[in-house]
Amino acid sequence: MGVDVEVVVSGAEKRYVQDAYRADENRPAVGKRTAVVLCGQKEMAEAVREACGADGIETFLTNF
């Protein structure tokens, strides 16, 4: 049982988390045990939920 961590920080690059997720052609397959941990602004979290939800991810842990 492993954990894959993908760190994405928007800043000087103006790269958004949800865009990095969508662009990652090598992202692992999701399953019932897939969860996403989000820490940041509510707007970002909502956009990531939408992007990941399209792949069937239902479990999200947030800082709010």
Mean pLDDT score, 50-56: 91
Degrees to nearest 5, angle at CA 56 with 50 and 60: 60
The pLDDT value recorded for residue 47 is 93
Residue 40 carries which DSSP code? S
Residue 49 has pLDDT above 90, yes or no: yes
- Residue-wise pLDDT for 9-25, tens only, equals 666 667 788 888 888 88
CB 43 within 8 A of CB 16: no
User: Which residues, at least 6 apart from 42, have a Cβ–Cβ distance to it below 8 Å?
Assistant: 64
User: Burial, 17: exposed, middle or buried (Cβ in 10 Å; 0-12, 13-18, 19+)?
Assistant: buried
